[in-house]
Amino acid sequence: MLTWRRGAQAVGVLGTGSYVPGRVVTNAEAGERAGVTGDWVFQKTAIRERRWAKPDEATSDLAAGAARRALDDAGVAAADLALVVVATSTPDSPQPPTASIVAHEVGAGRGAVTFDVNAVCSGFSYGLAVAERMVAASDGRPALVVGADVYSRILCPQDRRTVILFGDGAGAAVVGPGGRQQVVATRLASVSEARGLVGVAAGGSRLPASEQTLLDGSHFFVMDGRGVRDFVDEHVVPGVAAFLADNGVRPQDLTHVVSHQANGRILAAMADRLGVPFERFATTFGAYGNTGAASLPMTLDHLRRSGAVAPGDLILLSAFGGGMTMGLTLLSAV
């Protein structure tokens, strides 16, 4: 576990943006081949619909769309970026980094450092933590952090445990000195013994893609849903409570909670256990489902653009994902 607090130079969010594909996929469509009805999907997840990318859309396309909107919101020119980080577990390809593609697409200068982060659904939190530290320790040039995933490409259409949950999308934040929402504290943690709860078996060096892996479906994403719910109960909720206590914050002091949008039932249970009214949770799962590393920045963008954030508000960013990983960030609006 790693924890740190704001240093001498305050760093925060200068602007945000999000982007989703145009294709809307209803519960009925997502559940049809998996043998479940649209009503069943809603009852289990509180998700109404999601977006899936077109065949010619890749993760970098969605990421670049969100990045452009974040840069515009921040009033920052891409040429001035010092760093571009893309958090994804569905990159365009194993090489090069998707961040390099995004940097080129948005017009980042030659001096911009680019790399990807894979902490699955916690990826944006990890990328934000790295960017915040690098900006604070450098000359103050801004950084771009993007969370983007195209999960529709790795879902088995017959697996009702996954195909009904996931959508495609991207969210981005420009990070720099000052900022509208300043980083107060950050905590990153992993529980590696739980790494088997989610994953994709094939396509890496252990099990390279082959005709056999295609036949047996090893290239599809799999998830132990009950195990993930238990992980949230046993690690995420206590982890959030400890993080807040260590920073002198009571759950009732939080104005907004931006959590990974796993599904509505998990978020409602988290709110109940933390003692935070559910109406303080910003949500996008109803319209977009679980968008992986994109869900946190997409939801933060929607919250900021709703006009609900006021000076003095405390915002908790809470992410959890495969590995199993957890990322927590406390923001203070100014």
Nearest to 12 by CA among 135, 181, 147: 181
Of the residues 27, 118, 290, 302, only one is catalytic, namely: 290
Alpha carbon 310 to its chain centroid, in Å, reads 23
Structure tokens at 114: 């680019």
Which domains are assigned to the chain? 1-334 (3.40.47.10)
Q: What is the pLDDT of residue 12?
A: 97
Of all residues in the chain, the percent with pLDDT exceeding 90 is: 96
The SS3 call for residue 255 is coil
Of the residues 27, 256, 260, 263, only one is catalytic, namely: 260
DSSP string, 173-201: EEEEES-SEEEEEEEEEE-GGGGGGEEE-
CA dihedral 88, 91, 95, 98 (to 10 degrees): -70
Which residue shows structure tokens 């996954």? 162
Q: What is the pLDDT of residue 308?
A: 97
Running DSSP on this structure, what letter comes out for residue 235?
I
The question of whether 263 is a catalytic residue gets the answer no
Amino acid at 287: A
Cα(135)–Cα(76) distance, rounded to whole angstroms? 15
Q: What is the pLDDT of residue 5?
A: 84
The question of whether 118 is a catalytic residue gets the answer no
Of the residues 121, 256, 263, 302, only one is catalytic, namely: 121
* Rounded average pLDDT over 94-115: 96
Q: Band of the pLDDT at 208, cuts 50, 70, 90?
A: very high
321 membership: H or E segment, kind and range: strand 314-321
Average pLDDT, the chain: 96
Per-residue pLDDT tens for 8-35?
689 999 999 999 999 999 999 999 999 9
Say how many Å lie between the first and final Cα of the chain, rounded.
28
Cα(88)–Cα(71) distance, rounded to whole angstroms? 19
CB 257 within 8 A of CB 316: yes
Q: What is the pLDDT of residue 201?
A: 95
Q: What is the pLDDT of residue 86?
A: 98
Size (the chain), residues: 334
Q: Band of the pLDDT at 134, cuts 50, 70, 90?
A: very high
The question of whether 247 is a catalytic residue gets the answer no
Per-residue pLDDT tens for 265-288?
999 999 999 999 999 999 999 999
Q: Using the predicted structure, report yes or no on whether residue 229 has a pLDDT greater than 90.
A: yes
Q: What is the pLDDT of residue 283?
A: 98
CB 156 within 8 A of CB 162: yes
329 membership: H or E segment, kind and range: strand 325-333
Cα(278)–Cα(269) distance, rounded to whole angstroms? 9
* Rounded average pLDDT over 35-39: 97
Q: Band of the pLDDT at 119, cuts 50, 70, 90?
A: very high
294 membership: H or E segment, kind and range: none
Entry pTM: 0.96
* Rounded average pLDDT over 84-105: 98
Cis-peptide, bond into residue 96, ω within 30° of zero: yes
* Rounded average pLDDT over 305-312: 97
Q: Band of the pLDDT at 4, cuts 50, 70, 90?
A: confident
Q: What is the pLDDT of residue 109?
A: 86
Q: Using the predicted structure, report yes or no on whether residue 3 has a pLDDT greater than 90.
A: no
Which residue shows structure tokens 């009950």? 226
Running DSSP on this structure, what letter comes out for residue 290?
B
